[in-house]
Chain A
Amino acid sequence: MTEERFNSIKNNLRDFDLAYGNVNGTHDITIKKEDVLKVGNLLYNECGMDWMVDAVSVDRYKKQDRYEMVYNLRSTKHRDRLFIRIKLDSKEPQMETLSGIWESANWYEREAYDMMGITFLNHPDPRRMYMPEDYEYYPLRKEFPLMGIPGSIPLPNK
């Protein structure tokens, strides 16, 4: 992303309390949890970031702001990439779903819920992505053991 374009995005988002950073050469914007829908709408409608290709859930394993969501946005018009980052509570990680803006967030957020236990409010289809429906754990959290929890997945009857 060119500096010029990044500055125009900054200008579009000037009303919000944001932090700007860098993911090894790609710009990233940290958004407060409360503003996420407004900023998302601006990014989608005004800044041309119309294509969400991925969402990364992160467990930092620390007291404050333990969880994080990093959304990977691309623009079909300008052919560039931007990350947006939302820091979430340690106890009850939850945020508004972005699937109302970028439809593809639907599955990415289901995956984040399944693996990391982040709840998305107003999600259209809040099911697990990979694990069985009655599974009780969130495997990508740092406290989950690598070998799994014996007995947590019942074996089928003979």
Chain B
Amino acid sequence: MSQDIRERLLEQDPSIKRTKILEALESEDMSVQFEDALDNEMVLNMGPQHPATHGVLRLLLKLDGETVVKCIPELGYLHRGYEKLAEASTYHEFIPHTDRLDYLQPMANNVGYAMAVEKLIHLEIPERGQYIRVIIAELARIQAHLLAIGALYIDLGAITPFLWAIREREKILDIYDLICGARFTTSYTRIGGVSQDVSDNAISSIKRFIKEFYGNLQECRDLMDRNKIFIVRCEGVGHMSGEDCIKLGLTGPLIRAAGYDIDLRKDDPYLTYDRLDFDVPVYHSSDSLSRYYVRVEEMIQSARIIEQCIEKMKPGPVNSLNPKKVLPKKQRVYTKMEELIHDFMLINFGVNPPVGESYSAIESSKGELGFYIISDGSGHPWRLKIRSPSFSNLQGLGPMMTGCFIADTVVIIGSVDPVMGEADK
């Protein structure tokens, strides 16, 4: 739509507001004028409700024919104000909210949040607890990547491997059911440990899952990795140079597909990752195809990590022995006086960390998931900032889209793999 047509429309109907979004879209003078009205640039609104945007992501695309000239992502359609809610709830009360951040991998969010609070109150957790956390965090990585690649498959029209990926994901959800009694909103970790030990039944079903997983993933890869349509649609699409990725603050698979072997599990090992043997897959072409390969190979590494953890895990306590900070077992709360008092104090007044600030981050499936907590000594955090990887990764979406075809937008969104629950907080 050319400038004077819009002016004329505004004159006719003053209720059409010139929104700031539209102004930002028009800020750079990129318009090319043609004689034919159909050749002019147009603005296309994609989302927030759109099957290919993976949640309520809204994109404003400025098109020249079929080419995207500029793309502006618009966030906030799933903004629930979790940072404000955190200031009004105790540290324990916030755990269920973390499930709903990146709702495709609730376990990893639980682990990241619990670790951040434990760092703030200087709490060490026993080895078995740490191994359990590594296992659930890696299961969450597989779970999230399976959906990411499955969604990429179906966005490109391949339904069979999508169903196979979802079938594997269902098995992980069933394992969560055995571990903590919930499939989606797990809320499994507690400050100072986990809510309950992992049963032998759950361990054996994890073992069975991992054993079958390599073959089942390979089945999907056999269908897709050398599929000509898939490769042509992905290769070179959404390219962004490694320097630009760093400049725009991207993390996770996106920068590992751009040639950086950056992974918090290696650079700043937390839990027991320094005792486990795994590789960080790195690709260099920084397009949608290499991001897909990074995700697939990360899943294989995660399966390797889980195998090692199960082997190394010994029976023992899972929770830290610090009754003033760690919730006691429910059975003991009902029968013992001391535990009843501690439970009452912890639930009503919180863990009361020392005055200070702390930052702790884990490598989640999307990138660096961090929590910056400021404590004023009371049971509520004074400020809790969520460093959500999807939010930062979305910042790269605009530059990645510039110059691509409108059909490729779907592939690029799939390769960035944003989860709006996390990006909007």
Q: Do the beta carbons of B249 and A56 come within 8 Å of each other?
A: no
Q: Is B314 an interface residue (CB 8 A)?
A: no
Assembled-state Cα–Cα distance A57/B368 (Å): 19
Instruction: Give which listed residue, B84, B246, B356, B372, contacts A146 with CB less than 8 A.
Output: B84
Q: Is A54 an interface residue (CB 8 A)?
A: yes
Q: Do the beta carbons of A129 and B359 come within 8 Å of each other?
A: no
Q: Do the beta carbons of A58 and B267 come within 8 Å of each other?
A: no
**For residue A133, which residue of chain B has the nearest CB?**
B20
Residues of A with C-beta under 8 A to B395: 104, 106-107
Q: Is B310 an interface residue (CB 8 A)?
A: no
Q: Looking at the assembled complex, report how far the CB atom of B72 sits from the nearest CB atom of chain A, in whole angstroms.
A: 9
Residue of A50, A53, A57, A108 ringed by the most chain B CB atoms within 10 A:
A53
Residues of B with C-beta under 8 A to A103: 247-249
Q: Do the beta carbons of B75 and A129 come within 8 Å of each other?
A: yes
Instruction: Give which listed residue, A51, A54, A79, A115, contacts B370 with CB less than 8 A.
Output: A54
Residues of B with C-beta under 8 A to A139: 81, 84
Q: Do the beta carbons of A23 and B358 come within 8 Å of each other?
A: yes
SS class of chain B's interface: helix, strand, loop or mixed? mixed
Interface size class of A (residues with CB under 8 A): 35 or more
Q: Do the beta carbons of B20 and A104 come within 8 Å of each other?
A: no
Residues of B with C-beta under 8 A to A11: none
Task: List residues of B (13-42) whose CB comes within 8 Å of A's CBs.
Answer: 19-21, 24
Residues of A with C-beta under 8 A to B267: 79
Q: Is A152 an interface residue (CB 8 A)?
A: no
A to B CB contacts below 8 Å, 20 in the list = A51-B246, A52-B249, A53-B392, A54-B385, A56-B385, A79-B268, A81-B268, A102-B247, A102-B249, A103-B248, A103-B249, A104-B249, A106-B395, A107-B392, A107-B394, A125-B24, A129-B75, A130-B424, A139-B81, A139-B84
Q: Which 9 A-B pairs have the closest CB atoms?
A: A104-B249, A130-B76, A24-B358, A130-B79, A54-B387, A79-B267, A56-B385, A103-B247, A107-B395
Known: A52-B249, A72-B372, A106-B395. 16 other contacts (CB 8 A): A23-B359, A24-B356, A53-B387, A54-B372, A54-B385, A58-B374, A59-B383, A79-B268, A103-B247, A103-B248, A107-B391, A129-B76, A131-B76, A131-B79, A133-B21, A146-B85
What residues of chain B have their CB less than 8 Å away from a CB belonging to chain A? 19-21, 24, 75-76, 79, 81, 83-85, 87-88, 119-120, 246-249, 251, 260, 262, 267-268, 356-359, 368, 370, 372, 374, 383, 385, 387, 391-392, 394-395, 424-425
